[in-house]
């Protein structure tokens, strides 16, 4: 929802700058539409991942570091792999959005004719996207390795001859 407010404030800043007839009404409309899209996309994403309970369950397993022995592996492993892919997508999209907003913020700071309201709006948006990038980096470096370990544990159960997660790979025998 905060993203909707940021987009609405940005639209209002441009509306005032470009002398649109009703910038506040356009900004509120943009904020409501973007906020609704964000909420709906979050709910759809959770449903694709098996529901909110499933997402929280996988997070609990990742924090504990072990995959329970009584879970059905087929669906569970695909949900875990989906979470890893989702974290990768979030990292890329937040990195791109941060770079775009950083460039736009620098552009607004460099223009002496800019209204201070514009600079504040772009500064808040810059901080928001910096925070989303920081969260994505945290998830990539802290959560994804735990999710990959869960994935390896499940794959080891599916293929009992495979090396255990965390074990060194078997070395080939000399002469073979």
Contact call for residues 23 and 15 (beta carbons, < 8 A) = yes
Query: Does the pTM exceed 0.85?
Result: no
Residue spans per domain, the chain: 1-48, 52-159
What are residue 30's phi and psi, to 5 degrees?
-65, -40
Each residue's pLDDT tens digit, 138-168 = 999 999 999 999 999 998 888 776 555 555 5
Please list the pLDDT of the chain residue by residue as tens digits (176 residues): 556 656 666 666 666 556 666 666 766 676 777 777 777 877 887 777 677 788 889 889 999 999 998 888 888 898 899 889 988 988 998 888 888 888 877 777 777 776 666 677 777 778 888 888 999 999 999 999 999 999 999 988 887 765 555 555 556 556 65
- How far, in Å, CA of 123 to CA of 104, rounded? 10
Cβ atoms within 10 Å, residue 91: 19
Considering the chain, what percentage of its residues have pLDDT values greater than 70? 70
């Amino acid at each position: 929802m905060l993203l909707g407010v940021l987009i609405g404030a940005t639209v209002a800043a441009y509306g005032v700058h470009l002398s649109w007839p009703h910038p506040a009404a356009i900004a509120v409309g943009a904020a409501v539409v973007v906020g609704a899209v964000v909420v709906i996309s979050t709910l759809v994403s959770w449903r694709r991942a098996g529901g909110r309970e499933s997402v929280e369950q996988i997070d609990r397993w990742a924090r504990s570091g072990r995959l329970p022995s009584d879970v059905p592996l087929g669906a569970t492993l695909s949900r875990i792999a989906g979470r890893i892919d989702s974290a990768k997508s979030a990292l890329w999209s937040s990195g791109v959005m941060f770079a775009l907003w950083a460039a736009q913020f620098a552009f607004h700071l460099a223009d002496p004719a800019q209204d201070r309201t514009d600079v504040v709006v772009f500064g808040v948006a810059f901080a928001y996207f910096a925070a989303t990038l920081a969260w994505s980096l945290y998830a990539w470096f802290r959560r994804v390795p735990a999710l990959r370990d869960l994935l390896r544990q499940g794959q080891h159960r599916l293929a009992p001859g495979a090396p255990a997660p965390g074990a060194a790979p078997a070395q080939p025998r000399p002469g073979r």
